[in-house]
Protein backbone atom coordinates (compact mmCIF):
# COMPACT_ATOMS: atom_id res chain seq x y z
CA UNK A 1 0.00 0.00 0.00
CA UNK A 2 2.85 2.39 0.78
CA UNK A 3 3.96 2.51 -2.86
CA UNK A 4 0.66 3.85 -4.10
CA UNK A 5 1.11 6.75 -6.52
CA UNK A 6 0.11 10.03 -5.00
CA UNK A 7 -2.62 11.90 -6.88
CA UNK A 8 -1.34 15.11 -8.55
CA UNK A 9 -2.21 18.43 -6.91
CA UNK A 10 -5.20 19.78 -8.89
CA UNK A 11 -5.10 23.54 -9.33
CA UNK A 12 -8.10 25.59 -10.38
CA UNK A 13 -6.85 28.13 -12.94
CA UNK A 14 -9.38 30.96 -13.24
CA UNK A 15 -8.90 32.33 -16.75
CA UNK A 16 -11.98 34.53 -17.34
CA UNK A 17 -12.77 34.96 -21.03
CA UNK A 18 -10.59 32.73 -23.17
CA UNK A 19 -10.22 34.75 -26.37
CA UNK A 20 -6.74 33.80 -27.58
CA UNK A 21 -4.84 36.51 -25.71
CA UNK A 22 -1.44 36.61 -24.04
CA UNK A 23 -2.55 35.50 -20.56
CA UNK A 24 -4.04 32.28 -21.93
CA UNK A 25 -0.82 31.70 -23.89
CA UNK A 26 1.27 32.07 -20.71
CA UNK A 27 -0.86 29.64 -18.70
CA UNK A 28 -0.87 27.09 -21.54
CA UNK A 29 2.92 27.37 -21.97
CA UNK A 30 3.41 26.45 -18.33
CA UNK A 31 0.75 23.75 -18.49
CA UNK A 32 2.43 22.00 -21.43
CA UNK A 33 5.72 21.68 -19.55
CA UNK A 34 4.64 21.16 -15.94
CA UNK A 35 5.15 17.68 -14.44
CA UNK A 36 1.59 16.40 -14.76
CA UNK A 37 2.26 13.37 -12.57
CA UNK A 38 2.60 15.86 -9.71
CA UNK A 39 0.48 18.86 -10.76
CA UNK A 40 -2.68 19.10 -12.87
CA UNK A 41 -4.67 22.12 -14.05
CA UNK A 42 -8.41 22.58 -14.34
CA UNK A 43 -9.36 25.65 -16.36
CA UNK A 44 -12.34 27.69 -15.20
CA UNK A 45 -13.48 29.93 -18.05
CA UNK A 46 -16.40 32.23 -18.84
CA UNK A 47 -19.03 30.51 -20.95
CA UNK A 48 -18.78 33.25 -23.62
CA UNK A 49 -15.13 32.30 -24.33
CA UNK A 50 -14.30 31.86 -28.01
CA UNK A 51 -10.96 30.11 -28.30
CA UNK A 52 -10.53 27.35 -25.72
CA UNK A 53 -8.21 24.52 -26.90
CA UNK A 54 -10.45 21.78 -25.45
CA UNK A 55 -8.73 18.95 -27.28
CA UNK A 56 -5.21 19.80 -26.12
CA UNK A 57 -6.29 20.40 -22.50
CA UNK A 58 -8.18 17.09 -22.32
CA UNK A 59 -5.27 15.25 -23.94
CA UNK A 60 -2.96 16.61 -21.23
CA UNK A 61 -5.35 15.40 -18.53
CA UNK A 62 -6.95 18.73 -17.62
CA UNK A 63 -10.57 19.80 -17.52
CA UNK A 64 -12.38 22.83 -18.85
CA UNK A 65 -15.21 24.09 -16.66
CA UNK A 66 -17.50 26.84 -17.99
CA UNK A 67 -19.20 29.34 -15.70
CA UNK A 68 -21.37 32.44 -16.26
CA UNK A 69 -19.27 35.55 -17.02
CA UNK A 70 -18.46 37.86 -14.09
CA UNK A 71 -20.91 40.44 -15.52
CA UNK A 72 -23.64 38.14 -14.13
CA UNK A 73 -22.10 38.50 -10.72
CA UNK A 74 -24.51 36.53 -8.51
CA UNK A 75 -24.66 33.55 -10.87
CA UNK A 76 -20.88 33.75 -11.33
CA UNK A 77 -20.27 33.70 -7.58
CA UNK A 78 -22.74 30.90 -6.86
CA UNK A 79 -21.49 28.65 -9.65
CA UNK A 80 -17.78 29.24 -8.97
CA UNK A 81 -18.22 28.62 -5.26
CA UNK A 82 -20.07 25.33 -5.98
CA UNK A 83 -17.39 24.14 -8.44
CA UNK A 84 -14.52 24.92 -6.06
CA UNK A 85 -16.28 23.21 -3.16
CA UNK A 86 -17.20 20.09 -5.10
CA UNK A 87 -13.75 19.88 -6.68
CA UNK A 88 -12.21 20.12 -3.21
CA UNK A 89 -9.44 22.35 -4.57
CA UNK A 90 -6.62 23.34 -2.23
CA UNK A 91 -5.21 26.00 -4.60
CA UNK A 92 -6.97 28.54 -6.82
CA UNK A 93 -4.80 30.59 -9.19
CA UNK A 94 -6.67 33.59 -10.59
CA UNK A 95 -5.40 35.32 -13.75
CA UNK A 96 -7.99 38.07 -14.17
CA UNK A 97 -6.07 40.99 -12.66
CA UNK A 98 -8.30 43.39 -10.70
CA UNK A 99 -11.33 41.13 -11.31
CA UNK A 100 -9.66 38.47 -9.15
CA UNK A 101 -11.46 40.09 -6.23
CA UNK A 102 -14.62 38.28 -7.43
CA UNK A 103 -13.06 34.88 -8.13
CA UNK A 104 -11.04 34.84 -4.91
CA UNK A 105 -14.05 35.92 -2.83
CA UNK A 106 -15.88 32.85 -4.19
CA UNK A 107 -12.78 30.76 -3.38
CA UNK A 108 -12.72 32.09 0.19
CA UNK A 109 -16.43 31.28 0.58
CA UNK A 110 -15.66 27.77 -0.69
CA UNK A 111 -12.92 27.56 1.98
CA UNK A 112 -10.06 27.09 -0.51
CA UNK A 113 -6.95 27.60 1.68
CA UNK A 114 -4.54 28.89 -1.02
CA UNK A 115 -5.78 31.74 -3.22
CA UNK A 116 -3.27 33.21 -5.67
CA UNK A 117 -3.90 36.58 -7.37
CA UNK A 118 -1.72 36.94 -10.49
CA UNK A 119 -1.04 40.36 -12.02
CA UNK A 120 -0.49 40.14 -15.78
CA UNK A 121 -1.07 43.76 -16.72
CA UNK A 122 -1.14 47.44 -15.77
CA UNK A 123 -3.25 50.36 -17.00
CA UNK A 124 -3.16 53.51 -19.12
CA UNK A 125 -4.96 56.83 -18.75
CA UNK A 126 -6.16 56.63 -22.37
CA UNK A 127 -8.56 53.78 -21.52
CA UNK A 128 -10.80 55.90 -19.33
CA UNK A 129 -13.81 53.63 -18.81
CA UNK A 130 -11.80 50.45 -18.30
CA UNK A 131 -9.29 52.34 -16.21
CA UNK A 132 -11.98 53.60 -13.84
CA UNK A 133 -13.15 50.08 -13.08
CA UNK A 134 -9.57 48.92 -12.55
CA UNK A 135 -8.88 51.77 -10.12
CA UNK A 136 -12.08 51.06 -8.20
CA UNK A 137 -11.27 47.34 -7.88
CA UNK A 138 -7.51 47.65 -7.35
CA UNK A 139 -7.58 48.36 -3.59
CA UNK A 140 -9.53 45.09 -3.13
CA UNK A 141 -7.04 42.98 -5.10
CA UNK A 142 -5.33 41.78 -1.91
CA UNK A 143 -8.51 41.34 0.10
CA UNK A 144 -9.19 37.64 -0.52
CA UNK A 145 -5.78 36.51 -1.80
CA UNK A 146 -3.38 34.55 0.39
CA UNK A 147 -0.54 34.72 -2.14
CA UNK A 148 0.57 37.00 -4.98
CA UNK A 149 2.23 36.50 -8.33
CA UNK A 150 3.21 38.79 -11.20
CA UNK A 151 4.75 38.62 -14.68
CA UNK A 152 6.96 41.66 -14.13
CA UNK A 153 7.99 44.14 -11.47
CA UNK A 154 5.75 46.84 -12.97
CA UNK A 155 2.69 44.55 -12.97
CA UNK A 156 3.41 43.42 -9.40
CA UNK A 157 3.89 46.92 -7.99
CA UNK A 158 0.88 48.25 -9.91
CA UNK A 159 -1.62 45.73 -8.53
CA UNK A 160 -0.24 44.86 -5.11
CA UNK A 161 1.74 47.95 -4.13
CA UNK A 162 5.40 48.76 -3.46
CA UNK A 163 5.39 47.55 0.13
CA UNK A 164 4.54 43.93 -0.67
CA UNK A 165 6.90 43.94 -3.64
CA UNK A 166 9.81 45.34 -1.63
CA UNK A 167 9.20 42.85 1.17
CA UNK A 168 9.66 40.04 -1.38
CA UNK A 169 6.15 38.74 -0.84
CA UNK A 170 5.23 38.57 -4.52
CA UNK A 171 6.39 35.66 -6.68
CA UNK A 172 7.80 36.89 -9.99
CA UNK A 173 7.10 34.37 -12.73
CA UNK A 174 8.46 35.20 -16.18
CA UNK A 175 6.27 34.82 -19.25
CA UNK A 176 8.58 32.06 -20.44
CA UNK A 177 8.22 30.19 -23.73
CA UNK A 178 9.62 27.20 -25.58
CA UNK A 179 12.58 29.05 -27.07
CA UNK A 180 13.51 26.25 -29.50
CA UNK A 181 10.15 26.64 -31.23
CA UNK A 182 10.86 30.31 -32.00
CA UNK A 183 14.59 30.43 -32.80
CA UNK A 184 15.52 32.07 -36.09
CA UNK A 185 15.39 29.76 -39.09
CA UNK A 186 16.22 31.00 -42.60
CA UNK A 187 14.50 28.02 -44.27
CA UNK A 188 11.17 28.64 -42.47
CA UNK A 189 11.45 32.33 -43.32
CA UNK A 190 11.60 31.47 -47.03
CA UNK A 191 8.69 29.00 -46.74
CA UNK A 192 6.36 31.41 -44.96
CA UNK A 193 7.15 34.29 -47.31
CA UNK A 194 6.35 31.98 -50.20
CA UNK A 195 3.01 31.00 -48.59
CA UNK A 196 2.12 34.67 -48.13
CA UNK A 197 3.31 35.66 -51.62
CA UNK A 198 5.96 38.00 -50.24
CA UNK A 199 9.10 38.62 -52.26
CA UNK A 200 12.43 38.17 -50.43
CA UNK A 201 13.30 41.84 -51.03
CA UNK A 202 10.01 43.12 -49.54
CA UNK A 203 10.26 44.86 -46.17
CA UNK A 204 7.85 43.19 -43.71
CA UNK A 205 6.60 44.91 -40.57
CA UNK A 206 4.65 42.59 -38.29
CA UNK A 207 2.27 42.66 -35.36
CA UNK A 208 0.47 39.91 -33.46
CA UNK A 209 -2.25 40.93 -31.06
CA UNK A 210 -5.97 41.16 -30.44
CA UNK A 211 -7.86 43.97 -32.12
CA UNK A 212 -8.62 45.87 -28.92
CA UNK A 213 -7.93 49.47 -27.88
CA UNK A 214 -4.89 48.65 -25.75
CA UNK A 215 -2.96 47.25 -28.75
CA UNK A 216 -3.19 50.63 -30.51
CA UNK A 217 -3.64 49.39 -34.11
CA UNK A 218 -4.58 52.87 -35.32
CA UNK A 219 -1.15 54.22 -34.39
CA UNK A 220 0.45 51.09 -35.86
CA UNK A 221 -1.19 51.86 -39.22
CA UNK A 222 0.08 55.44 -39.09
CA UNK A 223 3.63 54.19 -38.49
CA UNK A 224 3.35 51.76 -41.38
CA UNK A 225 1.83 54.43 -43.64
CA UNK A 226 4.90 56.63 -43.05
CA UNK A 227 7.20 53.69 -43.90
CA UNK A 228 5.15 52.81 -47.00
CA UNK A 229 5.40 56.37 -48.32
CA UNK A 230 9.19 55.99 -48.34
CA UNK A 231 9.25 52.40 -49.58
CA UNK A 232 6.34 51.01 -51.61
CA UNK A 233 7.87 47.55 -51.41
CA UNK A 234 6.67 47.19 -47.79
CA UNK A 235 4.00 45.01 -46.23
CA UNK A 236 2.29 45.00 -42.84
CA UNK A 237 1.23 41.63 -41.41
CA UNK A 238 -1.53 41.72 -38.77
CA UNK A 239 -2.40 38.48 -36.97
CA UNK A 240 -5.20 38.20 -34.43
CA UNK A 241 -8.89 38.76 -34.02
CA UNK A 242 -11.04 40.98 -31.82
CA UNK A 243 -13.89 43.49 -31.69
CA UNK A 244 -12.04 46.34 -33.46
CA UNK A 245 -10.93 44.30 -36.48
CA UNK A 246 -13.59 45.66 -38.87
CA UNK A 247 -12.82 49.22 -37.81
CA UNK A 248 -9.13 48.69 -38.59
CA UNK A 249 -9.95 47.05 -41.94
CA UNK A 250 -12.02 50.13 -42.77
CA UNK A 251 -9.14 52.40 -41.77
CA UNK A 252 -6.79 50.46 -44.08
CA UNK A 253 -9.16 51.13 -46.99
CA UNK A 254 -9.39 54.82 -46.14
CA UNK A 255 -5.59 55.07 -46.13
CA UNK A 256 -5.37 53.22 -49.48
CA UNK A 257 -3.23 50.52 -47.94
CA UNK A 258 -5.39 47.54 -49.02
CA UNK A 259 -2.63 46.00 -51.12
CA UNK A 260 0.05 46.50 -48.47
CA UNK A 261 -1.71 45.19 -45.34
CA UNK A 262 -2.45 41.50 -44.83
CA UNK A 263 -4.99 40.44 -42.18
CA UNK A 264 -4.03 36.89 -41.21
CA UNK A 265 -6.76 36.20 -38.62
CA UNK A 266 -6.26 34.10 -35.49
CA UNK A 267 -3.16 31.96 -36.02
CA UNK A 268 -1.73 29.01 -34.14
CA UNK A 269 1.62 29.26 -35.98
CA UNK A 270 2.91 32.59 -34.63
CA UNK A 271 6.36 30.98 -34.29
CA UNK A 272 6.49 30.65 -38.11
CA UNK A 273 5.07 34.11 -38.80
CA UNK A 274 7.86 35.84 -36.83
CA UNK A 275 10.39 34.26 -39.20
CA UNK A 276 8.87 36.07 -42.20
CA UNK A 277 9.03 39.52 -40.55
CA UNK A 278 11.85 42.09 -40.62
CA UNK A 279 10.64 44.15 -37.66
CA UNK A 280 8.06 43.53 -34.94
CA UNK A 281 6.21 46.63 -33.73
CA UNK A 282 4.13 46.77 -30.54
CA UNK A 283 2.82 50.28 -29.76
CA UNK A 284 0.53 49.17 -26.87
CA UNK A 285 -1.03 51.72 -24.52
CA UNK A 286 0.05 49.44 -21.65
CA UNK A 287 1.19 45.86 -21.02
CA UNK A 288 2.43 43.77 -18.13
CA UNK A 289 5.06 41.76 -19.96
CA UNK A 290 3.72 40.86 -23.42
CA UNK A 291 4.34 37.28 -24.51
CA UNK A 292 4.51 38.37 -28.16
CA UNK A 293 7.40 40.69 -27.26
CA UNK A 294 9.30 37.75 -25.78
CA UNK A 295 8.47 35.49 -28.73
CA UNK A 296 9.54 38.06 -31.33
CA UNK A 297 12.90 38.56 -29.60
CA UNK A 298 13.36 34.79 -29.33
CA UNK A 299 12.96 34.73 -33.12
CA UNK A 300 15.89 37.15 -33.35
CA UNK A 301 13.67 39.95 -34.63
CA UNK A 302 14.32 43.64 -34.43
CA UNK A 303 11.61 44.87 -32.00
CA UNK A 304 10.26 48.38 -31.49
CA UNK A 305 7.95 48.69 -28.48
CA UNK A 306 6.09 51.48 -26.72
CA UNK A 307 7.67 52.48 -23.42
CA UNK A 308 4.29 52.04 -21.70
CA UNK A 309 5.22 48.51 -20.72
CA UNK A 310 7.55 46.99 -18.19
CA UNK A 311 11.28 47.45 -18.80
CA UNK A 312 11.83 43.68 -18.47
CA UNK A 313 10.21 43.31 -21.92
CA UNK A 314 13.53 44.47 -23.38
CA UNK A 315 15.45 41.20 -23.32
CA UNK A 316 17.86 41.92 -26.16
CA UNK A 317 20.08 44.96 -26.70
CA UNK A 318 18.64 45.39 -30.21
CA UNK A 319 15.12 46.03 -28.84
CA UNK A 320 14.05 49.68 -28.74
CA UNK A 321 11.52 51.42 -26.51
CA UNK A 322 9.82 54.53 -27.89
CA UNK A 323 7.29 56.94 -26.42
CA UNK A 324 3.94 57.14 -28.18
CA UNK A 325 4.27 60.93 -27.83
CA UNK A 326 7.09 60.82 -30.39
CA UNK A 327 4.48 60.39 -33.13
CA UNK A 328 4.20 57.95 -36.03
CA UNK A 329 6.73 59.70 -38.30
CA UNK A 330 9.48 59.48 -35.67
CA UNK A 331 8.67 55.80 -35.07
CA UNK A 332 8.88 55.15 -38.83
CA UNK A 333 12.25 56.95 -39.09
CA UNK A 334 13.74 55.02 -36.18
CA UNK A 335 12.46 51.71 -37.58
CA UNK A 336 13.98 52.62 -40.96
CA UNK A 337 17.43 53.48 -39.63
CA UNK A 338 17.50 50.57 -37.12
CA UNK A 339 16.65 48.10 -39.90
CA UNK A 340 19.61 49.26 -42.00
CA UNK A 341 22.07 48.48 -39.19
CA UNK A 342 20.40 45.28 -37.99
CA UNK A 343 21.76 41.82 -38.60
CA UNK A 344 19.42 39.03 -37.61
CA UNK A 345 20.85 35.98 -35.85
CA UNK A 346 20.03 33.18 -33.45
CA UNK A 347 19.50 34.62 -29.94
CA UNK A 348 18.73 31.41 -28.04
CA UNK A 349 21.55 31.68 -25.47
CA UNK A 350 20.73 35.30 -24.57
CA UNK A 351 17.05 34.42 -24.04
CA UNK A 352 17.93 31.43 -21.81
CA UNK A 353 20.23 33.61 -19.67
CA UNK A 354 17.46 36.17 -19.13
CA UNK A 355 15.10 33.56 -17.66
CA UNK A 356 12.65 32.95 -20.52
CA UNK A 357 13.35 29.24 -21.01
CA UNK A 358 10.06 27.53 -20.11
CA UNK A 359 11.68 24.14 -19.45
CA UNK A 360 13.68 25.78 -16.65
CA UNK A 361 11.12 28.34 -15.38
CA UNK A 362 8.37 25.72 -14.99
CA UNK A 363 10.43 24.14 -12.19
CA UNK A 364 10.00 27.39 -10.21
CA UNK A 365 6.23 27.21 -10.59
CA UNK A 366 6.17 23.54 -9.53
CA UNK A 367 8.20 24.50 -6.47
CA UNK A 368 5.79 27.34 -5.56
CA UNK A 369 2.73 25.10 -5.88
CA UNK A 370 4.33 22.31 -3.84
CA UNK A 371 5.37 24.75 -1.13
CA UNK A 372 1.90 26.30 -0.95
CA UNK A 373 0.24 22.88 -0.93
CA UNK A 374 2.31 21.67 2.01
CA UNK A 375 1.69 24.88 3.96
CA UNK A 376 -1.12 23.29 5.87
CA UNK A 377 -2.82 26.62 6.45
CA UNK A 378 -6.31 26.99 7.69
CA UNK A 379 -8.64 29.29 5.79
CA UNK A 380 -7.89 32.92 6.54
Alpha-carbon distance of 75 to 98, in angstroms, equals 19
Indicate the pLDDT class of residue 3, thresholds 50, 70 and 90.
very low
Neighbours of 343 (CB within 10 A): 7
Task: For the chain, give percent helix, strand, coil, nearest 5.
Answer: 45, 20, 35
Q: Is the pLDDT reported for residue 128 higher than 60?
A: no
Alpha-carbon distance of 172 to 165, in angstroms, equals 10
CA diameter of the chain: 75
Alpha-carbon distance of 316 to 77, in angstroms, equals 43
Q: Residue 347's closest CA among 317, 321, 322?
A: 317
User: Residue 264: which residues within 8 A CB-CB, separation 6 or more?
Assistant: 237, 238, 239, 273
Indicate the pLDDT class of residue 6, thresholds 50, 70 and 90.
confident
User: Residue 260: which residues within 8 A CB-CB, separation 6 or more?
Assistant: 224, 228, 232, 234, 235, 236
Alpha-carbon distance of 297 to 215, in angstroms, equals 18
- 267-309 pLDDT, tens digit per residue, is 989 999 999 999 999 999 988 789 999 999 999 999 999 998 8
- 138-182 pLDDT, tens digit per residue, is 666 778 999 999 998 988 998 999 999 999 999 999 999 999 999
User: Residue 253: which residues within 8 A CB-CB, separation 6 or more?
Assistant: none
User: Residue 36: which residues within 8 A CB-CB, separation 6 or more?
Assistant: 8, 60, 61
Indicate the pLDDT class of residue 137, thresholds 50, 70 and 90.
low
User: Residue 68: which residues within 8 A CB-CB, separation 6 or more?
Assistant: 46, 47, 75, 76, 79
Alpha-carbon distance of 159 to 150, in angstroms, equals 9
Alpha-carbon distance of 117 to 199, in angstroms, equals 47
Q: pTM of this prediction? A: 0.86
Alpha-carbon distance of 75 to 54, in angstroms, equals 24
- 336-377 pLDDT, tens digit per residue, is 999 999 999 999 999 999 999 999 999 999 999 999 988 655
CA–centroid distance for 319 within its chain: 18
Amino acid sequence: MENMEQEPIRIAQVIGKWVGGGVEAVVMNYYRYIDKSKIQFDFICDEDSTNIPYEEIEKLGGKVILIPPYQKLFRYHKELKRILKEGNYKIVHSHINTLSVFSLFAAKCAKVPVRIAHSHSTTNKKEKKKNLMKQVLKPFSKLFATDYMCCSELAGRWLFGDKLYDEGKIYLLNNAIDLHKFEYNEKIREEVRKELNIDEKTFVMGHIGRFVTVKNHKFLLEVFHAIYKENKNSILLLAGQGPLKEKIEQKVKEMNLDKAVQFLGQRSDANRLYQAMDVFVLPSLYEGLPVVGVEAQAAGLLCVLSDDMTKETKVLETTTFLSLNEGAKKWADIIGSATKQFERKNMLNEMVQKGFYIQKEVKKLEEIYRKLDTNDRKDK
